[in-house]
Structure formats: C-alpha cells, structure tokens
Amino acid sequence: MKTIRKNEWKKLLCLLLAMSMLLVTLISCGSEPETGDETETPTDTETVTDTEAEIDTAVGTDTEAVTDTEAATDIETESDTDPESDTESAPVTDSEATSESASASESESESESESESESESESESESESESESESESAPAFKGYDLNEFTVIRPDGATQTVFENALDLRDLIARYAPGVDIGNDWIASGEEQKVALAKEILYGNTDRDETRALIEGMPEDKDYGIGFYENKIVLYGRTAQSLDLAADTFVEKYLKKATNGVLTNVTVGTVIYEADPSLDEALTLRSFRDYPKFQRVHADAVPCSYYGDQYLYTGVEASAVEEYMGRLTAAGFTMVQDNVANGNRSVTFQGKGGTINLGYLSATKELVVSADNGESTLFQKPAEGSWEKLGPNSFAVMTMDYSKYSCSVGCNPRYDNNGLSYVITLEDGRYIIYDGGYEAPNDQEILYEFLRDNNKREGLPVIAAWIMTHSHADHYGAFISFTKNHAKDVVVEAFVVNTGESSCYTDGHSTYLEGLGAYAKTYYKTEQVIKPHVGQNLYFGNVVIETLYTHETFHFDDRNLTNENSASLVTRIYIDGMTILMLADAAEDTCLGMVALHGDYVKSDFMQIAHHGNGGGRRELYSRVDPDYMLWTTSQPGFRRRTAGSSYSVGMPSAYIAALNKEMFELTGGVRENINANGATNAEGVQTNWCADGPVDILTFGENKTVHIEYYEIRAELLPNNPIEEWDAEFVPDNR
C-alpha cells in the first residue's frame, strides 16, 4: 500500500509539470518576440533535463512527506474502523474530491494492474519453484522391491541363525529372484553406504533400525517387524520367536507381493506380537517385570522354551555391581551370591519371579536369566529348622531291563541304559533323579521304595523331581508313574532345564516341554524350577549345585546335535560327600565343563557320562578324579563297558571303552570281584555300582566312609537279567 501511494505522488507531480510546460509552450507560440531581443531561449532538451532534476528533488522531498502522510493515513484508517473513535476528518472541497477521485481511480487501476502482474509473476515463480523441488526430491513411495534387498544376519551368527537366514533368503527368492544375503559387518569408511543400502535385517543385527525396534518392544511381546525407509527388520527374543517373526513376514507381506514388490505396507509400519506357544496352560510364560541390564543385548538364548535369557558382552565387574543395585532398588531380594573358579552366580527373587546373573570374569560375559515363580529352595535354611527323622541317604535304584526292548541295531542284553536315583532327606522327604524307563516294573519299583521307606505321616513327599534331559530311558518312568501313582504321593517341585525342540538337529522329544502342565494337572503344584549354572538348591543340609545346562555353551553354537548335549549336570553335597551327576553328558558337555570349571569339578563320586556308552572325555574325568563310580546300566552292560573293548553296533568306541576301563581301575575295581550290584576293590569294598540286584542305600560317615543297606525288591518285580546267558553271547569287537 505504501509503495502504491509513493507512485501516485510521483505521477501526479509529473502530470502537473507536463501541464505547466504545455502552458509555457502555448504562451510562447501566441506572442512575437520583441525586435532586438537577444535573450536565448533554452532548448527543449535542456528544459527537460533541468525539469527532471527538479522532479527528482521534489520527489525526494515529497517521499519524506509521504512517509508522514502514510503514518497519518494508517491512523485515520484505524479510526475509521473503530466505532468508538472521536477523531474527525478535515472537510474536502468538490474540486479536491473530483481531482482526488480521478487520481485515485487512475492509481487504483494502475495498482490493480501492477498487483495482478506481480501476483501472476509470484504464482509462476512459486509454480516453477514447486516443480523444481518435486523434480529434485525422491519419487513417491511405490513399495519395497525385494529384488534390490539383501538379507542381513549378525556377523558370527550361530549355525541355527545362519541356516535360518539362508532359508529366509531362499524363500524370498521365489518371489524376488534378485534378493541377496550377507552379514552386518561394516568395513571402515562404508558406514554411509551401508546406511543407504536396502536390507532385510534378520535377528539381532548391529544396525540402528534393529536397535530401534528392540527398544520399542513392549515387555509382553516376543517378536517384532519394522518397516523403515530402506530397511525391513525381523527380530525375536528367542530363536523360536525370531522364526515366528519370519513366518509372519512371509504370510502377511511376502506372499502378497507383486513381482517381488511389497505394496501392502508403508514406511514406518511396526508390529509387535506375542508368541502364542508360550501359553500358561502348556508351559510357564517368561517373567519380564524387572529392570533390564540393557535394552540391547548381544544375543538371546534360543533354546529356552520358557523364560527370558540374554547374553551381554564386554561387561565389567563394576557394571554387574551397579545392576545388582538397580535390582535391589526395584524391590528384588538377593538370595544367593556364589563364586567358583572366578565365575559368579547371583540370584534375586521378587514380584513373582527369579533373576539370575551369571558372570564369566575371564570373558567379561554376563548372562541374565529371568524365570517365572519364586522358590524357597534357593534360600539356605537355618540349621535345625527341620525335623530330623533319620539320616540322609543316596539310593542306587534297580531297573528291570528284561522288559526293555531297544530299537533296531542294538541288543537289549547289551544296550541297557536308563537312570534312577533317590535321595532320602533327614526330614523324610525324597529327591528323585529321572526314574528310568516307562516299562511297568521301573515305576512300580520306584513307588514301592518311596512307600516302604516313608518316615513321615501321610503320603510320601517328593521335595523335588529332577529331570536331566529329554530321553525316554530317563523320563519314561515318570509317564507311567503319573498314570498310576500321582494320587499316591505329594510332589513339591519339579526341576528341569532342557532346550526347545527347534534347537536340535536329529530329532527331539518335546515331552518335558509340557512339564508345567503335568505338574498343575496331576500333582497340583506350579513350582517348576529352571536351574542355571552356579545356582544352589537347598534341601535341609543337602545341597544340589548346578554345573552345566544346555544354555552354558550354546551361545556360540546353538545347533545341539541331540538331547545329551542338553543334559542337566549337577553335584550333590551330602554329609561331607560330593556326588557328580553327569546324566548323559556328551563330549561337548564334558569339554565345556572343563573350560568353565577347571579343577573345581573334583568330586568323591562320579556318575559315568551317558551310561559308559559315549560322551565321556578324559580331560573331565581326570579332573573329577573320583573314588567311587556310578554306572547307569545293567550288570551285564557294566561288565562289557568296563572290559576295555568295543563291541556290537552302537556300543562304546575304542576311546570310550579304554576310558571306561581306566575309571574302573582308578576306583580300585577288580574284574574278578564283579557282583550283582557292581564291583568291589581288592579289599572287598564296593567302589562301583550298577543298576541291578537289590537297591543299594548308601549313607556316609566320618572320613568319607560309605555304609550300604539293601532294600529288597518284591519278588514279582525282580529283574530277570541272566548274567551267565548274556556273557556267553559277549563277543568283543576291537575295531
């Protein structure tokens, strides 16, 4: 508005000047110059030049005046629009009004023309600017063309994650043949290139988008899928939930792709889901109501079918202490703090859950395990807080191998395995290890032993039933026992920690994965304890220490060959004696224990690994250096497996046969002194036990002496294992 008024004043002055010049010219033309008048009249050019200078000067002066006038005009405008204003305008004459009206009309016309011109110019400029901006910006999102993507797995991924990533790539390639595969390693200087690369991030990769998805995951969800500008993220807390993330991606998005292009999703879409298999009716859902050490972990144990377990690397001891303080501040109570061979195990309880911190000082690795439920078994009871009804004892149970028929390729007279041991506590309660085969006599022998030796009023009480792993010669008796005698006993707790089926390469029994349901349904208990390395369970003055679980060494290689690699290894402390229970420990289990524990494994008793059929390693046995041996096999099997020779199909290799003989001789066993229960040394002291004959009940005195009592099995249940007949069939094979 101000610019327009300045122009109007300038034009008005120009108009007045032109009229005055015209007037001068007319006068000059109407009168003759007087004779002799020598005065020179300036030329038109000179006149115009001088006049323009005057105009410029006048305009400059008038411009200042216009400024004041505009200010006044603004005030007048405000007054005109203000109904309460008392300001009066100066009167205007008719001639002034006519002149101003004409001038205003002309100015408004010119102003409108200029305004329209400027508007059109601005419109064209904005249009050109928008056009240039659109041409320079990225094209509109048209979907994710998976042909341009690479499936990225974590660098150094385990065999399981590596193979699953390959499977995902192969599946995507059916829809988008151009898809590639790689890992998340970034070469120096390639950070920007990687940031712009189109990638499908599988698992816990070292990418910002993966971290963002993890940090946003709600505590009650198990896996997530995120779609970012040039990244698609698939993440799960465990291997099982990561598989579910991949399955969901395939079903919900990949199968709806057109020529390998995902068009049914937009940038920024993130979904989180729970694992439906973690139903409390089937298993124990993981416990997550606790402060996390960090939101982003190095890895997650994928073989835990319930519970959360995360690995953190590069952790200093001071960080562990700080985290312990945070757990305490959050309302958790520390119930254990154990240190062995430089490794630390700290257990907290609270809010209905149990948190275990396993810290390996040598490698600076921290494993945080969170399990549902609290248990008093993690707390050491005060001395004398239980009623003493008798001595603690350890019973070597008998199994009826005559009813067992093994698979094709082995001879049931040789291939006798199984495991069944019972601890009787001073207060009369029992602890059962496995139980043996599903054959009817094994569960009946077990029940009658509990019934006949019960020192408590009422039904026999099983303080804990420990399941070492998912092989039927170990948990089979539990199946038949549950069918026939669940109502005849009280079970206070089950102890189990096996891996989920997806972690095994050669098949896996999922029976124990439903132990939580069996406990609730048949035994009316919800206490299913999942032990971790370094934890102790307390039963009066008997302590059971966990030395190995499937989780221990499968962060680096989660591809378990079979259930034996997942055996729960424990050590029993009973009246000054230590009993190492190896269950069916495989070779990797034995070597892993050496790496973790070193000479800490030294024990008085050692249960032979995998029935003396395999799995053992001299590196472990030499450190255990036992005085007594427990052989989880029949008496005929014991005779053959300690002979130093391999035989038949599926029997000990030459290495294992030689190792068995060494252990037999180390404990003073004499082949001529083999009897129905094992073998004695040269002085006639029993040093080796097998699973035949009467049940041997061992009690322990001063100086680690062993006293034996026998529980005679009912005649109808006596095993029919004809030693002489089987010996005649024994043909050593020295291959």
Tell me, what amino acid is at 663?
A: M
With H, G, I as helix, E, B as strand and everything else as coil, classify residue 675: strand
Could you tell me the CA-to-CA distances from 300 to 309, 592, 606 in Å, in that order?
6, 19, 32
Mean pLDDT of 681-696: 93
Torsion angle (degrees, nearest 10) of CA 151, 154, 160, 163: 30
Count CB neighbours of 543 within 10 A: 16
Residue 564 — φ and ψ, nearest 5°? -60, -35
What mean pLDDT is predicted for residues 177-189?
Answer: 94
Q: Is the pLDDT of residue 689 over 90?
A: yes
Q: Please classify residue 503 by burial: count the beta carbons closer than 10 Å to its beta carbon, then call 0-12 exposed, 13-18 middle and 19+ buried.
A: buried
Task: Please check the confidence at residue 110 and state whether its pLDDT lies above 60.
Answer: no
Res 162: pLDDT: 85
Round to whole Å and give the CA distance between 289 and 218. 11
pLDDT value at 728 more than 90: no
What is the spatial distance between Cα 687 and Cα 675, in angstroms, rounded to a whole number? 11
Contact present, 389 and 455 (Cβ < 8 Å): yes
**Nearest to residue 400, comparing CAs of 630, 614, 635?**
635
pLDDT average, residue stretch 351-357: 93
* pLDDT attached to residue 274: 86
HSE (CB half, 13 Å, CA atoms) of 642?
Answer: 30
Phi first, then psi: what are they for 690, rounded to 5°?
-120, -170
Nearest to 587 by CA among 659, 511, 512, 495: 659
Residue 250 burial by CB count (10 A; 0-12/13-18/19+): exposed, middle or buried?
Answer: middle
Are the C-beta atoms of 514 and 542 separated by less than 8 Å? no
In degrees, to the nearest 5, what angle opens at C-alpha 230 toward C-alphas 229 and 231?
Answer: 100
- For the chain, count helices (H), then strands (E): 16, 32
Among 226-230, 288-292, 375-379, 610-614, name the one with the lowest average pLDDT: 288-292
**Which residues contact residue 512 at a Cβ distance below 8 angstroms, ignoring those fewer than 6 apart?**
467, 469, 470, 475, 496, 498
**Per-residue pLDDT at 650 exceeds 80:** no
Instruction: Reply yes or no on whether the pLDDT at 42 is more than 70.
Output: no
Distance, CA of 126 to CA of 155 (rounded, Å): 50
pLDDT reported for residue 10: 56
Section 358-376 average pLDDT = 90
Query: Rounded distance, CA 586 to CA 617, Å?
Result: 9
What would the pLDDT profile of 589-643 be if each residue is shown by its tens digit? 899 899 999 999 999 999 999 999 888 999 999 999 999 999 999 888 888 889 8
Residue 694 or residue 275, greater confidence:
694
Determine the Cα–Cα distance for residues 201 and 204; give it in Å rounded to an integer.
Answer: 8
- Answer whether 620's CB lies under 8 Å from 593's CB: yes
Q: Residue 670, exposed/middle/buried by CB under 10 A (0-12, 13-18, 19+)?
A: middle
Q: Which of 15-24, 40-49, 139-148, 347-356 is least confident?
A: 40-49
Tell me which residue of 157, 301, 308 sits closest to 239, measured CA to CA. Answer: 301
Query: How many CB atoms are located within 10 Å of the residue 99 CB?
Result: 13
pTM for the model? 0.69
pLDDT at 380: 95
Question: What is the Cα–Cα distance from 105 to 17, expressed in whole angstroms?
Answer: 20
Least trusted range by pLDDT, from 205-219, 274-288, 586-600, 666-680: 274-288
pLDDT exceeding 90 applies to what percent of the chain? 50
**Residue 600 in contact with residue 340, Cβ under 8 Å?**
yes
Q: Using CA atoms, how far apart are residues 163 and 181, in angstroms rounded to an integer?
A: 11
- Name the pLDDT band for 3 (thresholds 50, 70, 90): very low
pLDDT at 444 over 90: yes
Mean pLDDT over 113-127 rounds to 50
Task: Supply the DSSP string of 199-257, one letter for each residue.
Answer: EEEESS-SSHHHHHHHHT--TT--EEEEE-SSEEEEEESSHHHHHHHHHHHHHHTGGG-
The mean pLDDT of the chain is 79
